[in-house]
Amino acid sequence: MSNANGTMNLTLKVWRQKNAQTAGKFVTYKAENISPDMSFLEMLDVVNESLILAKDEPIHFDHDCREGICGMCSLYINGRPHGPKRAITTCQLHMRSFSDGETITIEPWRAAAFPVVKDLATDRSAFDRIQQAGGYISVNTGGVPDANEIPIPKVIADEAFNSATCIQCGACVAACKNASAMLFTSAKITQLALLPQGQPERYRRVQSMVAQMDAEGFGSCTNTGACEAECPKEITLTNIARMNFDFFSAKLFREEEVHEVNHG
Amino acid sequence: MILDAKIPQGPLAEKWSKHKFNLKLVNPANKRKYNVIVVGTGLAGASAAASLAELGYNVTAFCFQDSPRRAHSIAAQGGINAAKNYRNDGDSVYRLFYDTIKGGDYRAREGNVYRLAEVSVNIIDQCVAQGVPFAREYGGLLDNRSFGGAQVSRTFYARGQTGQQLLLGAFSALNRQIHEGKVKMYTRTEMLDVVVVDGHARGIVTRNLKTGAIETHAAHAVLLCTGGYSNVFYLSTNAIGSNVTAAWRAHKRGAYFANPCYTQIHPTCIPVTGTHQSKLTLMSESLRNDGRVWAPKTREVAEKLRKGEIKIENVKEEDRDYFLERKYPSFGNLVPRDVASRNAKEMVDDGRGVGGSGIAVFLDFRDAIERLGEETVKAKYGNLFDMYYQITDENPYKQPMRIYPAVHYTMGGLWVDYNLSTNIPGLYALGEANFSDHGANRLGASALMQGLADGYFVIPYTLGDYLATIGPKPVDKNHPAFEQTKKDVEAYVAKLLALKGNKTVVEYHRELGHIMWEYCGMARSEEGLIKARGLIQALKDDFWKNAIVVGQNEEINASLERAGRVADFIELGALMVEDALSRRESCGGHFRVESQTEEGEALRHDDEFAYVAAWEFKGENQPEELHKEELVYENVKLTQRSYK
């Protein structure tokens, strides 16, 4: 909601922190003459331009594609990852979702496994290491069958697709009181576990990815569902259930048995 | 220097197979003795890094983002072409080749394009094997959709997120090699120069974006997979971080830059709303399968719409001009991008634009929703409709989208031969970073195809030939060229940090964008280009006097990063203008107003301009030298493109 001039004046309380080693604090800024058509990041651009003109240090935040798909932007706005609206990333949030005169609090993701890099940017490389632990199907380039030799029921392909839409932004971790990475990890595991191509490595994959997730220092899942509620891509808790099923299957049976037990 | 494209002799269909046989091989046990640097981790970079590591080479890969998966290939929406002919509708490798050559307005190499069409079928197989969840039919087999510039359905897709899914496939292959220790991955690291030793590329200089550390890396070969340069226009559909710096610094070390003026303006983007805007968002070309493009038939109706005096739904059928269907009955809304864009511009220039600014036309789904039902339309395009709604606050299920062209892709790039090698031995360019396969205009769903073709199926063969030739002797990092190049980079960074003027680099970037869009955008004239030449020179002079860069090197410094990128864009902009000036013909995305048919279509001059323009850097503030690689057509007949 804008004022009579069609613009908005806002107060920002922004987390400033030089790096992971130093303590951070909130600093207050004014954002003036903001158009309701601006995206949230464009509003920050305006603030940063004025800081640079005053030879001050601009507020650092991660961002890149600005169309909700790269997963780089990661702001905790008024106590919620990616702000007040459902199913969008920070870069898709527009100022029309705020009111003239409002005070907006902006923080980085808060999680031990995501140390602050600077100001609002965090180090999410733990997610990459979880993927590296097994988030793939081991095929080399070339020598694969014709694409249509692997028929997949449409419902299964669609379900796998839903899991595959995860953008690795980390909102699930930021939303979770335990800073658990179960939703993220389970989305990749589920995508591959649903597809016929993913079967040969299915039970090894779940064990190695879960082990890496634990090693990174993410918390445990207590099924509160905050991750699902805040996920910009609406990844569901069903993924966690599927991952748990595969994980326990892998623990209960030897590898040569588990395929037969679950699929025989 | 005579540019040798090294296109193999012989019939078109046999060139690549024969060439593959003639290329030298590296013995499996020797592969681990070679180091290869891959810069950029989009479709081309991730697929190349993974495939080369699988073969046994030691790969070091770099990206400026915090994870390789965030490269801008992730944002490609519509799909990827492949000549599978799964639809039984007459597709073939030759037809995909022909459509691509024609779509590129006869300014691409036959040999390259045929190879691209040939390996397209392998790409789909590879991606499916990796677990890429392409759209399927109820029978369990893959679905296809149609795209512009083709009359067959050969586009494979994953809802409106095909680039994301393909990149995640390549990313997963890359992760596997990182896990196995065959790829060493550097994130948040930007390449700032190439190290050239005795005429061969032997390494790069990078800046660690977290600590500011400037470091050298040595290798037997360097692959630039660093994407395109659309952000020279400031507003484009590229990510904010997408930049030309790696390619441009390579250019300044001697690599030729080819056809820089060939840029693609995508017809269906969400229009600009104000000066605060930092980027433009594309609405996938696939929407033109079902959406109908129109503008009001008269200026009067357009004006009433702009003022809100009438509602869109009350515009009578006879007052709507479906101008693409009217002018191009056989291709209709699916004409190639350059044609669709220019026609939208004509409507706006004629005073028939819509929306508050008048700089937009409609893309209307009313008839599709009536014919197919809202649910079907939602299943096909749901995420695109949501994105549009989010940005504009207008519901596209209820009222037509407002669209306008925006810069989306650059066909120009580093000059490469058939082996993807630049003119500097050991330096390769893949994907959008090279110039090679799209001529003067790229067809929809061909960028993903080319990025993955280069990375999965071309470079693993051609690089081996070079490496076998030079032998596995370790690269000497003590060669003075490494230290010297590092010093050059440090001096350049210091020069940027010394800028303490009164204007932000973003402001310079915005001004550059205005100049490029105005004079080197959808329509170009000699007069405008000459004006742009002066404006860019003045902007450059002013930048080095009055720009502000804050902070220091030894920290995260977005202001410094942006300054370096903008400085390179300014120089590239100047070269684009020279290239556009020297090409006194219209072709594809390059429309010179002096060269058009009576109907206002692009008019080529094949007798004079059937060449690749490859520019050589001759020193700071010196005119660049133009080298011409003649384009030889042995299989297709050059004709005036017609989509009527």
A156-166 pLDDT, tens digit each = 999 999 999 99
Q: How many CB pairs under 8 A join A and B?
A: 214
B378 within some domain? yes
> Any CB–CB contact under 8 A between A160 and chain B?
yes
- Asked if A136 and B74 come within 8 Å (Cβ–Cβ), the reply is no
- Asked if A157 and B131 come within 8 Å (Cβ–Cβ), the reply is no
CA distances from B608 to B494, B585, B611 (A): 45, 9, 8
Please state, as a whole number, how many other Cβ atoms lie within 10 Å of the Cβ of residue B449. 29
Q: Work out the minimum CA distance from A222 to partner chain B, whole angstroms.
A: 28
Name the residue facing A168 among B69, B173, B555 (closest C-beta): B69
B162-179 vs B43-55: helix crossing angle, rounded to 10:
30
Query: What pLDDT band is residue A260 in, cutting at 50, 70 and 90?
Result: confident
Nearest-Cα residue of chain A relative to residue B127:
A147
Dist CA A243 CA A260 (whole Å): 18
DSSP states of B54-110 as a string? HHT-EEEEE-SSSSGGGSGGGG--S-EE----TT-SS--HHHHHHHHHHHTTS-S-H
Average pLDDT, chain B: 96
- Asked if B158 and A161 come within 8 Å (Cβ–Cβ), the reply is yes
Q: Work out the minimum CA distance from B378 to partner chain A, whole angstroms.
A: 14
The helix or strand, by DSSP H or E, that contains position B544, with its residue range, turns out to be: helix B526-546
Query: What pLDDT band is residue A259 in, cutting at 50, 70 and 90?
Result: confident
- Asked if A53 and B279 come within 8 Å (Cβ–Cβ), the reply is no
Q: Residue B369 pLDDT more than 80?
A: yes
Dist CA B15 CA B457 (whole Å): 15
**Stronger pLDDT, B212 or B149, i.e. the higher one:** B212
Cβ neighbours of A128 in B, within 8 Å: 67-69, 175, 185, 187
Query: What pLDDT band is residue B380 in, cutting at 50, 70 and 90?
Result: confident
Q: What is the mean predicted confidence (pLDDT) over B585-600? A: 93
3 state SS of B148: coil
Share of residues in chain B with pLDDT > 90 (%): 91
Closest CA to B427 of B113, B37, B123: B37
- Asked if A152 and B276 come within 8 Å (Cβ–Cβ), the reply is no
Q: pLDDT tens for residues B408-429?
A: 999 999 999 999 999 999 999 9
> Any CB–CB contact under 8 A between A132 and chain B?
yes
B80 within some domain? no
- Asked if B172 and A144 come within 8 Å (Cβ–Cβ), the reply is no
Nearest-Cα residue of chain A relative to residue B158:
A161
Q: Residue B432 pLDDT more than 80?
A: yes
- Asked if A124 and B460 come within 8 Å (Cβ–Cβ), the reply is no
pLDDT for residue B463: 98
DSSP states of B180-241 as a string? TTSEEEE-SEEEEEEEEETTEEEEEEEEETTT--EEEEE-SEEEE-----GGGGSSSSS-TT
B354 within some domain? yes
Dist CA B568 CA B236 (whole Å): 17
The helix or strand, by DSSP H or E, that contains position B367, with its residue range, turns out to be: helix B366-372
Name the residue facing A132 among B84, B138, B178 (closest C-beta): B178
Query: What pLDDT band is residue A1 in, cutting at 50, 70 and 90?
Result: low
Cβ neighbours of A42 in B, within 8 Å: 276-278
Average pLDDT, chain A: 96
Query: What pLDDT band is residue A252 in, cutting at 50, 70 and 90?
Result: very high
Nearest-Cα residue of chain B relative to residue A41:
B278
- Asked if A69 and B75 come within 8 Å (Cβ–Cβ), the reply is yes
pLDDT for residue B149: 83
Cβ neighbours of A138 in B, within 8 Å: 176
B209 within some domain? no
Q: Residue B1 pLDDT more than 90?
A: no
Lowest mean pLDDT among B9-18, B131-140, B145-154, B194-203: B145-154
Backbone phi, then psi, for A130, in 5-degree steps?
Answer: -65, -40
* Residue B309, domain CATH: 3.90.700.10
- Asked if B175 and A128 come within 8 Å (Cβ–Cβ), the reply is yes
Name the residue facing B133 among A18, A146, A157 (closest C-beta): A157
Query: What pLDDT band is residue B286 in, cutting at 50, 70 and 90?
Result: confident
Q: pLDDT tens for residues B481-512?
A: 999 999 999 999 999 999 999 999 999 999 99
Count how many domains chain B has. 2
pLDDT for residue A130: 98
Interface list for A 96-115 with B (CB within 8 A):
96
Cβ neighbours for B598, distance < 8 A, ≥ 6 positions apart = none
Cβ neighbours of B551 in A, within 8 Å: 57
**Stronger pLDDT, A78 or A2, i.e. the higher one:** A78
- What are the catalytic residues of B? 337
**Beta-sheet strand order (sheet of B263-269):** B263-269, B401-410, B361-364, B292-296, B320-321
Q: What is the mean predicted confidence (pLDDT) over B429-440? A: 97
DSSP states of chain A as a string? ---TTS-EEEEEEEEE-SSTTS--EEEEEEEEEE-TTSBHHHHHHHHHHHHHHTTPPPPP----SSSS-S-----EETTEET-SSTT--GGG-BGGGS-TT-EEEEE----TTS-EEETTEE--HHHHHHHHTT-S----SS----GGGS---HHHHHHHHHHHT-----HHHHH-TT-B-HHHHHHHHHHHHHSGGGSTTHHHHHHHHHHHHHHTT-B------HHHHH-TT---THHHHHHHHHHHHHHHS-HHHHHHHHH-
Nearest-Cα residue of chain B relative to residue A49:
B504
Is pTM beyond 0.80? Reply is yes
> Any CB–CB contact under 8 A between A41 and chain B?
yes
pLDDT for residue B600: 82
- Asked if A154 and B137 come within 8 Å (Cβ–Cβ), the reply is yes
Q: Buried b vs exposed e over B356-367: b needs ≥16 C-beta within 10 Å? A: eeebbbbbbbbe
Cβ neighbours of B159 in A, within 8 Å: 161
B578 within some domain? yes
Query: What pLDDT band is residue B644 in, cutting at 50, 70 and 90?
Result: confident
Q: Residue B462 pLDDT more than 70?
A: yes
Q: B613: which 2 tokens? A: 């323009």
pLDDT for residue A35: 94
- Asked if B129 and A145 come within 8 Å (Cβ–Cβ), the reply is yes
Q: B510: which 2 tokens? A: 């915005």
Q: What is the mean predicted confidence (pLDDT) over A101-116? A: 97
B245-252 vs B558-582: helix crossing angle, rounded to 10:
60
Rg from Cα positions in chain A = 21
- Asked if A57 and B551 come within 8 Å (Cβ–Cβ), the reply is yes
pLDDT for residue B336: 87
Cβ neighbours of B70 in A, within 8 Å: 64-65, 70-72
DSSP states of B578-602 as a string? HHHHH--S-BTTB-BTTSB-TTS-B
Half-sphere exposure of A113 (CA within 13 A, CB side): 26
Token pair 């219209």 is found at B586
B509 within some domain? yes
Name the residue facing B140 among A57, A69, A154 (closest C-beta): A154
Dist CA B214 CA B496 (whole Å): 15
**Angle CA B349–B353–B359, to nearest 5:** 80
Q: Is B24 exposed, middle or buried (0-12, 13-18, 19+ CB in 10 A)?
A: exposed
- Asked if B125 and A168 come within 8 Å (Cβ–Cβ), the reply is no
B301 within some domain? yes
- Asked if B278 and A137 come within 8 Å (Cβ–Cβ), the reply is no
- Give the residue extent of every domain in chain A: 8-118, 125-263
List B627's β-bridge partners, or say none: B614
Cβ neighbours of B74 in A, within 8 Å: 65, 69-70
Cβ neighbours of B240 in A, within 8 Å: 63-66
Q: What is the mean predicted confidence (pLDDT) over B205-215? A: 98
What sign for the dihedral angle of Cα A211, A212, A214, A220? Answer: negative
Q: B429: which 2 tokens? A: 């360019």
Name the residue facing A164 among B137, B168, B500 (closest C-beta): B168
Decide if B226 contacts B191 (C-beta within 8 A): yes
Cβ neighbours of A88 in B, within 8 Å: 390
Identity of the residue numbered A112: A
Token pair 């890099």 is found at A117
Dist CA A63 CA A120 (whole Å): 11
Q: What is the mean predicted confidence (pLDDT) over B88-98? A: 97
> Any CB–CB contact under 8 A between A234 and chain B?
no
Dist CA A135 CA A142 (whole Å): 20
List B592's β-bridge partners, or say none: B524
Nearest-Cα residue of chain B relative to residue A91:
B391
Query: What pLDDT band is residue B643 in, cutting at 50, 70 and 90?
Result: confident
Nearest-Cα residue of chain B relative to residue A123:
B66
pLDDT for residue A125: 98
Range of the structural domain that residue B349 is part of = 266-407
Decide if B117 contacts B415 (C-beta within 8 A): no
Q: What is the mean predicted confidence (pLDDT) over B52-79? A: 97
pLDDT for residue A264: 58
pLDDT for residue B328: 94
Token pair 């309701």 is found at A36
Q: What is the mean predicted confidence (pLDDT) over A133-155? A: 97
Q: pLDDT tens for residues B129-165?
A: 999 999 999 999 999 988 888 899 999 999 889 999 9
Q: Work out the minimum CA distance from A213 to partner chain B, whole angstroms.
A: 15
List B217's β-bridge partners, or say none: B204
B505-519 vs B558-582: helix crossing angle, rounded to 10:
20
Q: What is the mean predicted confidence (pLDDT) over B215-234? A: 98
Name the residue facing A197 among B84, B131, B274 (closest C-beta): B131
Name the residue facing A197 among B84, B129, B282 (closest C-beta): B129
Dist CA A109 CA B472 (whole Å): 46
pLDDT for residue B241: 98
Name the residue facing B279 among A66, A69, A134 (closest C-beta): A66
Half-sphere exposure of B227 (CA within 13 A, CB side): 29
DSSP states of B616-639 as a string? E--STTSPPEEEEEE---SSS---
- Asked if B390 and A57 come within 8 Å (Cβ–Cβ), the reply is no
Share of residues in chain A with pLDDT > 90 (%): 93
Same domain membership, residue B499 and residue B403: no
Q: Work out the minimum CA distance from A133 to partner chain B, whole angstroms.
A: 6
CATH of A125-263, one of 1.10.1740.10, 1.10.1060.10, 1.10.1270.20, 2.30.110.10: 1.10.1060.10
Nearest-Cα residue of chain A relative to residue B181:
A132
B278 within some domain? yes
Name the residue facing B141 among A46, A139, A148 (closest C-beta): A148
* Residue B532, domain CATH: 1.20.58.100
For chain A, the first-to-last Cα distance in angstroms comes to 59
Decide if B176 contacts B185 (C-beta within 8 A): no
Question: Could you tell me the maximum CA-CA distance found in chain A, to the nearest angstrom?
Answer: 71
Considering the segment(s) A8-118 as one domain, its CATH architecture is: Roll (3.10)
- Asked if A69 and B558 come within 8 Å (Cβ–Cβ), the reply is no
